Structure 1
Amino acid sequence: MLEAKNVCYEIEQEEEPLLLLNGVDFCIPEGHFMAIVGPSGCGKTTLLKTIAGIITETDGHFCWNGRNLAEDGDFEPDEIGYVPQFSIAYDQLTVDESIESAARLRCRFDSEDELDDIIDKALDETGLSEIADRQVKHLSGGQKRRLALAMELVSSPRILLCDEVTSGLDPRSEKEIMTLLHDLARKDGRIVISVTHSLADMDMYDSIMVLHQGCIAYHGSPRTIGHYFSTGNLEEIYPKLALRKPADWKQSWIKHRESYYERLDTEREHKLRETGTPAPAAKRSVAIADENEEELPGKPSQPGAFSQFWTLFSRRWKILSRDRTQLMLQIAMILIFPIMVSLFSSKGQEQIIQFTAERSQNLTTEIQQAQDVQENRAKVGSAVSGIIMFEVILLGLMGSNNAAREIAGERLIVEKEKFAGVGTGAYMMSKYAFLGILVLVQSLWMFAFVEWWWPYRGDSMTHLGFLILANAAMTSVCLGISALSRTPDQASLLSIYLVGFQLPLSGAVLALPNILEPIVHPFISAYWAWSGSIEGGLAENIKQAVRAIVNTEFSAADLCFYILIAHIIAGMVLTYIGLKRAKWD
């Protein structure tokens, strides 16, 4: 039994607080199918989210089978299912793969046969068996709603919350979804609560709750709702609500609810007798649950963190392999960027001219020789410095592309999977494992290709290490930006700005003012990768040539290494903080 006791939800505003839920009281028994209806902005979705625990009520509390959820802990992930308005499946996966992914993330099973049974049961219950091999992007609106329900049913939730699951559907599809929800409420004593704008087919519900600006205006049988509002047409209910203040509707309902609850109890007992189901100890109108109520047997427990990690990691590779746009972009960058660097390789291959040991008797000749040596050093130094920085910037651009939309682009699915019990750590590590492989492939190919055209003038392995760190640092920081951003476009824009500032603020082209350099450089990963490659890897004569044309101070290779590691760690911290914060909207 689910109870709400004087539940309120208030948000702060500049002028005065806004009360979105005002003293909501109700009690719902097992095996009950309830609709929450009302005009737009009346608090329907807010109420559903407070039940789910997505937002926390500011006053009052909910009880589940006699357990105070505010004091004794919230629902377990497998006790409750939540079907939001948005899609919770990836377009690149099939129906079967989507349900399998949900099952692996939410359920612990002893064998693959047991997993197959869970998937087959969800497919059968939602009528998706015949299209199990169809990709999500090819599903109709009604089929996507069925899939969302199937993904929730894998954990056999006792409570199923549905937010506008019939919105935007044609009448036939809407009726099919409502019939499905009705049938789900009759199985295993499950409570199904559906938020809807539609007032069609209200007779399918066991009860209807009408909200008006956060207050309950009615909660009872669909057979008595017309009598309560003095209308024979349900479509007239919303205009009638506007004729009275929300507080007046609330007081009116408090005054009359006992008689309507008695009618609801009578209808429920009649249905139970028809189906041969024993009546529960507590009636519909009594706000006391049976504390000795037993849990249903066979509820699946949560899988371990490594199991969730592997499911998420494998799924991400499958999605990439089927996302032609992103896959082709990755391949294009990996192939084209090194070619762009190699176009300038000939300028960095020229050998440095040395002064002759013998002094010329002709002063003009000696001056010309010194000038040639100086020009040669400047030319070689400029080319080498430019090639290294070009590599670093392009790898930074790859890193930005890797991670900018990685979390922000699927944020709502992330929130939904966290709600279902997926650990933040497992999700975060799956992203770093996936992106880590991309970083290695991109950096190794950039190094190998450029090395073939322009053999590095020093310790190649040190240079390779800094290329990997440059890419990894930018990828990690951009993943943190992605986790903190509200939208994918915001994350992409901030990440591009970050890459765009790398070259001008690195000091490789124009030296920064002395007062700004120590302030700016710690945040510019391109500077540390460039400086580390030059100080730690270049041959001494080439290093001197680079120093001759660059006014920026170089840092020791060890310091560069530690700073880039710090960038990676900072990105991980930002990612974790961003993932821990709920961003449903």
Structure 2
Amino acid sequence: MLSCRNLTVRPKPNAPALVHGATAHFAAGGLHALIGPSGCGKTTLLKGILDILPSEGEVLLHGHPLASREELLRDVAFAPQFSIAHGKLTVAEAVGYALKLYQKTDEATLAARNDELLQLVGLQERGATLVEKLSGGQLRRLGLALELTTDPRCLLCDEVTSGLDPRSEDQIIAVLRALVEQRGKTVVCVIHNLAKLSQFDTVTVVFEGVVVWQGPLAAMLEHFGISDALELYDRLSEQTQEEWRDRWAAVVAAQGESHAGSVSPAPLPAGSRRVSARPSVGSQLVTLLARRWRLLVRDRGYLLLTMAITFGFPCLVVIFALGGLPQMKGLALETTGGFLEMLQAKASHRQAAAETATLVSGLIIFQVILLCLMGSNNGAREIAAERTLYEKERMSGLRPVAYAWSKLLYTALLGAAQGAWMTVFVKLLCEFPGGWGAQLAVLSVTGASMSVVCLGLSAMLSSPDKASLLSIYLVGFQLPLSGVVLALPAALVWAVRPFIATYWGWAGYLTAMTDSSFYDAVGTLDKGWLSPPLVAVGVLGAHLLTGAALVFWGCQRKCWP
């Protein structure tokens, strides 16, 4: 069913090859073992076939060369070593959401299919158990169930039995055998326990990046001159890779077309249900948002942190404002003209106004910086932390555009809501003047734009720690480069200002107070140009669109951690 010819696999383009000219064939309806010493290239071979890693050579399905690897994914699924699922979902929820993402059908059929898969892998009694509570063997079974949601004809398994106790290992192999005999699947399994090879139909041996044998176990023992499969690796070390490769090539040449590694094209099977029945972008988007909401309310640690900063940061602003509220209220009672005349007449009043202006300006920039920190928390880890899960779901049929939109909507709406709450809470308690609409718009867009920019960084990086660190650096440089607290050299002001969200949030909020004494007081300290709210919202909107572009770009490119 599945074959490769002269396949060379590299970790990166132009990097040294990890698999060299591999040729192998895995017949339909068989349970095939893929073995070899640690680090010999077994997993690399599977990833090269699936185009997870860059490769050169031919991959054939049913004896026909593939025009693209996307065609391969219609019939072939990949089960990684460890189950990839959200720990805060139950087993039934994890499988149910996968079915909704990949299969377009009614709820009753999906529910029946969910029960069928759980029963098939022996998890029917664990449907209500959180994924994070499963044992190692149960996680491997869940991984198999998730891959079977697309009903693939061929399943490639990467060490799904490694690290398990003998009983759990036998149970997993029994599930794989049932898939072959009862469902007609083709299963290729990387396995380390050579004592289990008798349970497989064929054995493929990889040594130092080269396929040096493929065939039944008995023939393998004869070929290598050993009486027990456990002696294989010691036997391999007695000769070089080139010698084993040449010896295998001689066997292939002698057997000719009858050899398992050579396959004649077979009639292509009927069209795959997996592609024709894939849900629309809108349907996948709704499913992803529903799953994200469930994860938000289920993950109490993250939920409490988000609520703490959403409600706690505005309280910090008010606390810092308490000492200056009397002066701020007194200044607000003055008329604009009277206040200016007073400043011109009395130096003491000018000093009081300057102190109040500093307080008002500082409170505004403090709000903006805190919103940027909230945005970093919203977006920095959102994609990078689940990158492996996303790449796996994309192989199974998840549309990148649906995934990108789900993350954009979640982070942008969360950031905007935090900005709106900051505006309302601080404005009411500190009695800041200015138009409600303008100030709500400025701080809401500030929160949304920084959340999406940090989400864009998360989409571009595969490590959540790197994404978080870079986002913190981005927020950290916002304050000094805004020029609000520390004056920038004139040559740098407009070189960096377009990229600094804190300046636009601060200036847009402040200029919404144009008709108040607060604005006049700040104007005595800063004679430079201040952005009006509409311009500030426009620039922050451009930041948001830039972050969104990074999200779409990052989700389109392959980035296996």
Which TM-score applies when normalising by structure 2?
Answer: 0.93
State whether structure 2 residue 313 is matched by structure 1 residue 334: no
User: What is the match of residue 4 of structure 1?
Assistant: 4
Q: What secondary structure, in the 3-state scheme, does the structure 2 residue paired with 1:240 have?
A: helix
The answer for the alignment partner of 2:58 in structure 1 is 61
SS, match of residue 155 in structure 1: coil
Q: Tell me which residue corresponds to 1:103.
A: 99
**Cα distance change on mapping 1:137 and 1:356 into 2, 3 Å:** closer
From 341, 345, 351, give the equivalent of 2:330.
351
Equivalent in 395, 405, 410 of residue 429 of structure 1 = 405
Distance 1:255 1:355 in 2: 97
Aligned to 1:482: 458
Which range is displaced more, 40-49 or 547-556? 547-556
Q: Does 1:24 align with 2:19?
A: no
* Bigger share in helix: 2
Deviates most, 189-198 or 421-430: 189-198
C-alpha distance in structure 2 between counterparts of 1:356 and 1:548, whole Å: 14
Alpha carbons of 1:176 and 1:258: their partners in 2 closer, same or farther (altered >3 Å)? farther
SS of 2:217's partner is coil
1:433–1:367 distance in 2 versus 1, CA, 3 Å: closer
Aligned residue identity for 2:102: R
Alignment correspondent of 1:541: 517
The alpha carbon displacement at 1:543 in A equals 1.4
Alignment of 1:115-194 (within 5 A): 115-194=110-189
Shift of 1:72: 5.7
Q: What secondary structure is seen at the aligned counterpart in 2 of 1:192?
A: strand
Q: Does 430-439 or 406-415 show the bigger shift?
A: 430-439
Match of 1:75 in 2: 71
Residues 351 and 380 in structure 1, CA contact (< 8 A), matched pair in contact too: no
Q: In structure 2, what is the equivalent of residue 215 of structure 1?
A: 210
Residue in structure 2 matched with residue 279 of structure 1 by the alignment: none
CA shift digits 1:41-73 (9 cap, x unpaired):
211111111222323422x2111123311x266
Q: Tell me, in whole angstroms, the C-alpha distance in 1 between the residues paired with 2:476 and 2:348.
A: 35
**1:306 pairs with 276, 282, 285, which one?**
282
Aligned in 2, Cα 1:297/1:480: closer, same or farther, shift over 3 Å? closer
Alpha carbons of structure 1 residues 217 and 76: separation in structure 2 relative to 1, 3 Å = closer
Following superposition of structure 1 onto structure 2, how do residues 275-286 of structure 1 map, counting pairs within 5 Å? 284=260, 286=262
**Structure 2 partner of 1:241:** 236
What is the rounded CA distance, in whole Å, between the counterparts of 2:129 and 2:177 in structure 1? Answer: 26
Partner of 2:478: 502
Question: 311-320 or 340-349: which moved more?
Answer: 340-349
Contact 2:11 2:17 in 1 (8 A): yes
5 Å-filtered alignment, 1:307-322, equals 307-322=283-298
Given the superposition, is the C-alpha separation of residues 531 and 368 from structure 1 closer, same or farther in structure 2, using an over 3 Å criterion? closer
| Cα distance in 2 for residues equivalent to 1:387 and 1:578 | 36
Give per-residue Cα distances to partners, 1:91-144, cap 9 Å, x unaligned.
1000000000110011111x2111112111111110110111111111000000
Match of 1:566 among 542, 549, 556: 542
TM-score after normalising by structure 1: 0.89
Cα gap change, 1:72 to 1:374, in 2 (>3 Å): closer
- Residue 245 of structure 1: CA displacement? 2.0
Q: Distance in 2 between matches of 1:40 and 1:439?
A: 47
Letter aligned with residue 364 of structure 2: I
| Cα displacement string for residues 213-261 of structure 1 (whole angstroms, at most 9, x for unaligned residues) | 1211111101222211111232221122222222221111111247789
Alignment partners' CA distance in 2, 1:499 and 1:261: 65
Shift of 1:295: 5.6
AA at the equivalent of 2:176: L
SS at match of 1:18: coil
State the shift of 1:198 in Å: 2.1
The residue number in structure 1 matching 2:42 is 44
C-alpha offsets along residues 165-210 of structure 1, whole Å, 9 cap, x if unaligned?
1111111111111111121122343110111222121011110100
Letter in 1 for 2:317: V
Q: Residues 36 and 206 of structure 2 are in contact (CA less than 8 Å); yes or no, is this contact kept in structure 1?
A: yes
1:404-443: per-residue Cα shift (whole Å, max 9, x none)? 1101111110111111111111001111222233123312
SS at match of 1:19: coil
CA distance in 2, matches of 1:374, 1:142: 74
Q: 2:419 aligns with which of 435, 443, 449?
A: 443
TM-superposed deviation, 1:21:
2.0
Residue type at the aligned position of 1:100? G
- Structure 1 residues 297 and 512: CA distance shift in structure 2, 3 A: closer
Name the SS of the counterpart of 2:329 in structure 1: coil
The answer as to whether partners of 1:443 and 1:464 remain within 8 angstroms in 2 is: yes
Distance 1:114 1:12 in 2: 42
Give the counterpart letter for 1:203 in structure 2. S
How far apart, CA to CA, are the structure 1 residues paired with 2:248 and 2:465?
Answer: 46
* Structure 2 spans left out of the alignment, 5+ residues: none
Paired residue secondary structure (2:55): coil
Task: Quote the Cα distance in structure 1 between the aligned partners of 2:269 and 2:442.
Answer: 62
Percent of paired sites with the same residue: 37
- For residues 293 and 103 of structure 1, do their structure 2 counterparts lie closer, same or farther at Cα, with a shift above 3 Å needed? closer
Which stretch shifts more, 310-319 or 480-489? 480-489
Does the 8 Å CA contact 1:469/1:564 hold for their aligned counterparts? Answer: yes
Matched residue, 2:443: 467
Which stretch shifts more, 554-563 or 296-305? Answer: 296-305
Report if the CA contact (8 A) 1:92-1:137 is conserved.
yes
Once structures 1 and 2 are overlaid, which stretch shifts more, 4-13 or 460-469?
A: 4-13
Cα pair distance change 1:229/1:548, threshold 3 Å: same
AA paired with 2:33?
A
For 1:270, the equivalent position in structure 2 comes to none
Q: Does residue 1:401 correspond to 2:377, yes or no? A: yes
Counterpart of 1:92 in 2: which secondary structure?
Answer: coil
Contact preservation (8 Å) 1:220, 1:261: no
Q: Distance in 2 between matches of 1:356 and 1:407?
A: 53
Matches within 5 A, 1:263-278: none
Which residue is equivalent to 2:353? 377
- Residues 293 and 369 of structure 1, relative CA distance in 2, 3 Å threshold: closer
Quick one: which amino acid aligns to residue 86 of structure 2?
A: Y
Counterpart CA distance in 1 for 2:450 and 2:407 is 14
Residue type at the aligned position of 1:54: I
- 1:300 deviation in Å? 6.9
Match of 2:312, as an amino acid? I
> Do the aligned residues in 1 keep the contact of 2:213 with 2:248 (CA within 8 Å)?
yes
Partner residue, 2:551: 575
Q: Which amino acid aligns with 2:64?
A: R
In 1, the alpha carbon distance for the partners of 2:343 and 2:270 equals: 98
Structure 1 segment 512-523 matched on structure 2, within 5 A: 512-523=488-499
The alpha carbon displacement at 1:75 in A equals 2.8
